[in-house]
């Protein structure tokens, strides 16, 4: 009898419970990144789906992740995106979770159907969130979580509260994927119980039937990196921390910031053309976009994070839509590679509160070469790099650095598999163009400092590369360009694209990581530039949205052995096995004619380091060479006859 009565009571309670429930507001947690190519192609579909569903019918939080490249919004606030990424086990972007469900591609997780299903769910939790601006610098938030049912509820044990900026628009793409508009970006997260910044949220217990929990957060100061205070709102939701299920969401309405000046600004600087004109005149074009007159404005700029240079313009009476120039004294850019110039509006109307706090403008990056040419050959192995290093090495500049990324050796890939990512597996670093994430047509150059070839004879450029396509038909491209007028004009001396560039089969299930055997070495004849006082060499990579391209062991040298001053024709066909070399190598060469030949080994500076043999040879010949006395590095075998010299490059591990 007791068992029957208990069942009846449960049935009765469940019926009352259901009748008292309210509709659920779906919560979308979106993981994306400003340098993620697939994000740029997939996000518009997501935004279209949400636009059709209606902004009043859902709440969204966007987490800008730290990879695969540059993302200023993640740099400004990384804790929340990183915590939620780890919580859901997100390992790639774009990705999304709807109501705490397993993450999937955004257009798989969030569709018209899945949103409709989520919105049709009923829940005992009701969430009301309000925000009230106390001034232009402080906002209060009140949260009331109500149990609308006639029974106690405890299925949710955590309440999360996030500050989001509903619309962030850049004048130019802040990353490498071309996106300029970002929506509902998380700017901070809070423990509603204490008001402190926290990614863990607030712990909540059981809420009795008809009862509620109220959180009051007062005096929240928006972070200085907020770009527009009028775009600030708050999103909250209750979740079961163990199962990850979200049971209800709520959000506030943005806007209504009292006395807020609405202003805008854009850099309007002038810079000397090319890589060797260092003149620079910073300027900002400031605009009053609101209804409050602007009487004074202060702007500033910095170069490479140095001392800020401020200028105040007073005596203004700028009405809505009117602009003024903030002109700074002319200066010069450093002749040391890439320079980053940051601009800011730091004050309006002598302390007046304005939209976005300090108005942050897009940084500008200018690439300049040292004024003097270097007599030292290029010997670049990209050693000592960390993943994400923006500039590869001393004396090298990355023109458009957002599109390139350095990659370190010995990174564990796919569990226990480890790849040696240096050229031919013989070094501890290389450089990577991440075509996997760079949209078609985007690219960049690696530009070396000017070389003085006044006394050079038979100049050569050699480099190692490894590349795979993604689907097998993408037009990924690598060009080697040279200039004798500091980049004013360029001549292409080497150019490969698509299947002609590849060194490995297409990889369509993730990024390509080369094995030792998937590297090749190319040598370019630069004899035509012997005698040049300033030769600039640039590697230009252009994405076809294929897979990764790796570069290593960039060297310039003279294709002569010691004591040989003239090369007329190649004397032999040469093969080195294995390459890279350990303690011994096999040198196989075919002489075009019977001839006396001197065979030696020189280093990257053209200095002889080992005499191999000297004798008469004809036809195909095999010579065993002991290389145990050579230090690790790049070397060249010279086979010299009276007809000339043939040079073959190898690497000593």
Calpha distance 51→623 (Å, rounded): 72
pLDDT, residue 366, reads 87
8 A C-beta contact, residue 626 and residue 583: yes
pLDDT at 567 over 70: no
Chain centroid to Cα 295, Å, comes to: 40
Distance (Å, whole) CA 313 – CA 298: 6
pLDDT digits (tens, 9 = 90+) for 162-190: 999 999 988 788 888 889 999 999 999 99
Q: Assign 395 a pLDDT band (cuts: 50, 70, 90).
A: low
CB 487 within 8 A of CB 274: yes
β-strand pairing of 417-419 with 411-413? antiparallel
Q: Which CATH number fits domain 20-251: 3.40.50.2000, 3.40.640.10, 3.40.50.720, 2.60.40.10?
A: 2.60.40.10
Domain with CATH 2.60.40.2550 in the chain: 572-652
pLDDT at 433: 86
Give me the mean pLDDT over the 433-438 stretch.
83
More confident residue, 416 or 577: 577
Separation of alpha carbons 407 and 429, rounded Å: 7
Helix (H) or strand (E) holding 10: helix 2-19
What stretches of 261-389 adopt beta strand conformation (E)?
263-267, 270-271, 279-281, 283-288, 297-303, 309-313, 323-327, 331-332, 337-348, 359-360, 364-368, 379-380
Q: What residues have CB less than 8 Å from 1, skipping those under 6 apart?
A: none
Indicate the range of 384-388, 453-457, 485-489 predicted with least confidence: 384-388
- CATH architecture classification, 572-652: Sandwich (2.60)
Instruction: Report the greatest alpha carbon distance in the chain.
Output: 113
CATH 2.60.40.10 residue ranges in the chain?
20-251
Measured between its terminal Cα atoms, the distance across the chain in Å is: 84
Q: What number of other Cβ atoms are within 10 A of residue 19's Cβ? A: 11
Token digits for 230? Answer: 């009028």
Using the predicted structure, report yes or no on whether residue 154 has a pLDDT greater than 60: yes
Comparing C-alpha atoms, which of 337, 323, 341 is closest to residue 280? 341
Are β-strands 359-360 and 246-251 bridged in parallel, bridged antiparallel, or unpaired?
Answer: unpaired
Q: How far apart are CA 107 and CA 325, in angstroms?
A: 44
In whole angstroms, what is the distance from residue 10 CA to residue 37 CA? Answer: 53
The separation between CA 574 and the C-alpha centre of its own chain, rounded to angstroms, equals: 41
Note whether 385 and 407 are within 8 A (CB).
yes
Classify each residue of 546-576 as buried b or exposed e, where b means 16 or more C-beta atoms within 10 Å of its C-beta: bbbbbbbbbbbbbbbbeebeebeebbbebeb
- Taking residues 572-588, what's their average pLDDT? 82
- The topology (CATH level 3) of 379-558 is Jelly Rolls (2.60.120)
The tokens for 38 are 């697939």
- Cα–Cα distance for residue pair 303/292, rounded to 1 Å: 32
User: Rounded to an integer, what distance in angstroms lies between the CA atom of residue 507 and that of residue 472?
Assistant: 8
The whole-chain average pLDDT of the chain stands at 86
Assign residue 80 a region (left: φ > 0; alpha: ψ between -120 and 50; beta: otherwise).
alpha
Q: Strand 263-267 to strand 283-288: parallel, antiparallel, or no bridges (unpaired)?
A: antiparallel
Tokens of 107: 């257009």
Question: Is 327 within 8 Å of 283 (Cβ atoms)?
Answer: yes
- Average pLDDT rounded to a whole number, residues 29-44: 94
Residue 638 pLDDT? 84
Tokens (6 digits) for 478: 């690598």
pLDDT of 230 strictly over 50: yes
Q: How many CB atoms lie within 10 A of CB 131?
A: 20
Residue 294: what pLDDT?
A: 96
> What integer pLDDT is reported at residue 328 of this predicted model?
98
Q: Is the pLDDT of residue 211 over 50?
A: yes
Lowest mean pLDDT among 47-56, 294-303, 334-343, 417-426: 417-426
Report the residue count for the chain: 653
CATH class of 265-362: mainly beta
* Rounded-to-integer distance, Cα 498 and Cα 486, Å: 29
> CA 51, 55, 60, 64 torsion: positive or negative?
positive
Contact criterion met (CB below 8 Å) for 198 and 215: no
| H helix count then E strand count, the chain | 6, 42
417 CB neighbour count, 10 Å cutoff: 8
Look at 134-148, 245-259, 343-357, 455-469 and tell me which has the smallest mean pLDDT. Answer: 343-357
3-class SS of residue 38: helix
Q: Rounded to an integer, what distance in angstroms lies between the CA atom of residue 633 and that of residue 552?
A: 12
Distance CA 408, CA 416 (A): 17
* Packed helices 112-120 and 37-53: angle between N→C axes, nearest 10 degrees: 50
Rounded CA separation 84/31 (Å): 9
How would you list the strands of the sheet with 212-220, edge to edge?
125-135, 138-147, 212-220
CA torsion, ordered 278, 279, 284, 285, to nearest 10 deg: -120
Segment 471-478 shows an average pLDDT of: 96
Q: What is the pLDDT of residues 327-382, one digit of tens each?
A: 999 999 998 777 889 999 999 999 888 876 667 788 888 888 888 888 888 888 87
Enter the pTM of the model: 0.62
Among 188, 245, 250, which residue's Cα sits nearest to residue 215?
Answer: 250
Query: Backbone dihedral region of 288: left (phi > 0), alpha (psi from -120 to 50 degrees) or beta?
Result: beta
Tokens of 503: 């060194």
Q: List, by residue range, all CATH 2.60.120.200 domains of the chain.
A: 379-558
DSSP secondary structure, 44-96, as one string? HHHHHHHHHH-GGG-EEEEEE-S-SS--HHHHH--HHHHHHHHHHT--SSSEE
- Is the pLDDT assigned to residue 386 strictly greater than 60? no
pLDDT in tens, 59-70: 999 999 998 888
| 507-523 pLDDT, tens digit each | 998 889 888 888 888 88
> What does residue 56 show for φ and ψ, rounded to 5 degrees?
-75, -10
CA distance 449 to 486: 9
Contact predicate 349/261, CB 8 Å: yes
Give backbone dihedrals phi and psi of 152, rounded to 5 degrees, phi first: -65, 145
Cis preceding-peptide flag for 68 (omega within 30 of 0): yes
What average pLDDT does this structure show over 237-250? Answer: 97
């Amino acid at each position: 009898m007791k068992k029957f009565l208990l069942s009846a009571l449960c049935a009765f309670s469940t019926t009352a419970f259901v009748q008292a429930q309210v509709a659920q507001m779906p919560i979308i947690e979106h993981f994306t990144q400003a340098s993620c190519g697939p994000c740029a192609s997939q996000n518009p579909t997501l935004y279209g789906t949400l636009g059709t569903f209606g902004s009043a019918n859902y709440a969204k939080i966007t987490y800008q992740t730290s990879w695969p490249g540059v993302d200023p919004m993640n740099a400004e606030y990384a804790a929340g995106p990183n915590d939620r990424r780890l919580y859901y086990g997100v390992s790639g972007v774009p990705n999304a979770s709807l109501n705490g469900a397993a993450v999937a591609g955004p257009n798989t997780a969030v569709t018209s159907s899945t949103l409709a299903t989520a919105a049709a769910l009923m829940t005992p939790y009701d969430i009301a969130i309000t925000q009230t601006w106390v001034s232009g610098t402080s906002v209060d938030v009140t949260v009331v979580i109500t149990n609308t049912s006639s029974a106690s509820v405890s299925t949710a044990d955590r309440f999360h509260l996030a500050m989001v900026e509903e619309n962030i628009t850049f004048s130019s793409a802040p990353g490498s994927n071309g996106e300029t508009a970002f929506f509902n970006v998380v700017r901070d997260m809070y423990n509603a119980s204490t008001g402190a910044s926290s990614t863990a949220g607030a712990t909540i217990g059981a809420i009795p039937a008809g009862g509620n929990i109220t959180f009051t957060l007062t005096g929240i100061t928006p972070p200085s990196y907020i770009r527009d205070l009028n775009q600030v709102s708050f999103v909250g939701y209750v979740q079961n921390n163990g199962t990850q299920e979200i049971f209800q969401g709520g959000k506030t309405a943005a806007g209504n910031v009292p006395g807020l000046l609405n202003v805008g600004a854009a850099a309007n600087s002038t810079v000397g053309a090319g890589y060797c004109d260092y003149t620079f005149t910073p300027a900002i074009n400031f605009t009053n976009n609101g209804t409050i007159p602007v009487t004074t404005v202060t702007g500033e700029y910095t170069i490479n994070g140095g001392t800020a240079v401020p200028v105040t313009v007073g005596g203004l009476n700028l009405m809505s839509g009117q602009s003024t120039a903030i002109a700074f004294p002319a200066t010069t850019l450093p002749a040391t590679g890439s320079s980053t110039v940051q601009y800011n509006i730091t004050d309006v109307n002598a302390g007046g509160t304005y939209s976005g706090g300090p108005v942050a403008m897009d940084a500008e990056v200018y690439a300049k070469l040292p004024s003097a040419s270097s007599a030292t050959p290029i010997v670049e192995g990209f050693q000592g790099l960390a993943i994400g290093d923006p500039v590869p090495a001393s004396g090298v500049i990355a023109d458009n650095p957002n599109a390139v990324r350095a990659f370190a050796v010995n990174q564990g890939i796919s569990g226990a598999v480890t790849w040696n990512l240096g050229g031919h597996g013989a070094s501890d670093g290389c450089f990577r163009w991440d075509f996997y994430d760079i949209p078609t047509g985007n690219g960049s150059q690696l530009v070396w400092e000017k070389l003085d070839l006044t006394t050079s004879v038979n100049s050569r450029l050699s480099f190692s590369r490894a590349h795979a396509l993604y689907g097998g038909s993408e037009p990924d491209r690598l060009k080697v360009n040279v200039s004798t007028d500091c980049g004013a004009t360029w001549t292409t001396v080497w150019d490969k694209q698509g299947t002609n560039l590849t060194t490995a089969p297409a990889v369509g299930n993730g990024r390509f990581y080369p094995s030792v055997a998937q590297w090749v070495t190319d040598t370019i004849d630069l004899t035509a530039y012997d005698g040049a006082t300033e030769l600039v060499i640039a590697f230009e990579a252009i994405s076809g949205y294929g897979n990764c391209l790796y570069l290593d062991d960039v060297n310039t040298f003279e294709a002569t052995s010691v004591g040989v001053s003239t090369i007329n024709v190649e004397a032999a066909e040469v093969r080195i096995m294995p390459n890279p070399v350990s303690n011994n190598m096999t040198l196989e060469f075919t002489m075009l004619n019977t001839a006396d030949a001197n065979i030696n080994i020189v280093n990257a500076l053209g200095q002889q380091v080992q005499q191999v043999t000297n004798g008469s040879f004809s036809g195909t010949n095999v010579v065993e060479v002991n290389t145990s006395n050579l230090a690790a590095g790049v070397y060249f075998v010279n086979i010299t006859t009276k007809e000339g010299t043939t040079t073959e490059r190898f690497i000593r591990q």
